[in-house]
């Protein structure tokens, strides 16, 4: 049974709890791979605002973790007429299970389609089209995923990537690849760990 959508104050409370739990969890982990590495709330709010303001309807997220950012995106898509559920990719089945539970609690399970597997392999099998992609996983493999996604992007495409300032070396190849794409304008916004935003508009 899918619970009814919770109210905005209830969702805000859930997101705040997950943020606090995520910070405490990561502080207790010595291994990077065990950390949740959720978005900072200001970055998540900006991400949601961009999706709402530009009226995205087919969004792909690479890197679900425990579903913190998926909650923000799915909550936005739920408000947009004609939008489809968020497609989000997670390689760790345990993390995917956590994400499903959190999305279920938020009444947003119907607004997410979680795919489990290595991101590049999953991306190669997706049909699309997508009008927005959020890269929030392995920054080193992001250029390959971007290449695979190019034929699956709408003409009016929005590309977003976190950690542009916190991991400049790792994300450099992705930013360079985006910079070489015709028709895209891009910039890095100094919020959280740095959100790289690129947009292609074709009338």
pTM (2 d.p.)? 0.89
Closest CA to 21 of 54, 62, 68: 68
Q: How many domains does the chain divide into?
A: 1
At 15-37, the pLDDT tens digits run 777 777 766 766 766 666 666 56
25 domain residue, yes or no: no
33 domain residue, yes or no: no
62 domain residue, yes or no: yes
Vertex 165, ends 162 and 166: CA angle to 5°? 85
28 domain residue, yes or no: no
**Backbone phi and psi for residue 152, each to the nearest 5 degrees, phi listed first:** -105, 10
Cα–Cα distance, 151 to 127 (Å, whole number): 10
At 44-93, the pLDDT tens digits run 999 999 999 999 999 999 999 899 999 999 999 999 999 999 999 999 99
Show the domain range for 103: 8-19+38-200
CATH code: domain of residue 134: 3.40.50.150
61 domain residue, yes or no: yes
DSSP string, 136-190: -S-TTTHHHHHHHHGGGEEEEEEEEES-TTTSHHHHHHHHHHHHTSTTEEEEEE-
At 111-159, the pLDDT tens digits run 999 999 999 999 999 998 999 999 998 889 999 999 999 999 999 999 9
26 domain residue, yes or no: no
3 domain residue, yes or no: no
């Amino acid at each position: 049974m899918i619970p009814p959508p919770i109210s905005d104050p209830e969702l805000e409370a859930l997101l705040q709890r997950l943020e606090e739990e995520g910070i405490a969890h990561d502080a207790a982990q010595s291994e990077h791979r065990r950390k949740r590495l959720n978005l900072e709330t200001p970055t998540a709010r900006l991400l949601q605002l961009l999706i709402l303001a530009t009226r995205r309807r087919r969004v792909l997220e690479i890197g679900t973790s425990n579903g913190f950012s998926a909650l923000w995106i799915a909550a936005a898509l739920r408000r947009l007429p004609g939008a489809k559920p968020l497609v989000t990719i997670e390689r760790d089945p345990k993390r995917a299970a956590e994400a499903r539970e959190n999305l279920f609690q938020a009444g947003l399970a119907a607004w997410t389609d979680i795919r489990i597997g290595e991101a590049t392999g999953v991306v190669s099998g997706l049909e699309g089209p997508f009008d927005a992609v959020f890269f929030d996983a392995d920054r080193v493999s992001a250029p390959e995923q971007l290449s695979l996604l190019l034929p699956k992007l709408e003409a009016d495409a929005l590309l977003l990537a976190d950690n542009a300032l916190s991991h400049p070396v790792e994300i450099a190849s992705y930013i360079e690849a985006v910079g070489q794409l015709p028709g895209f304008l891009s910039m890095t916004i100094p919020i959280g760990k740095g959100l790289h935003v690129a947009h292609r508009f074709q009338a």
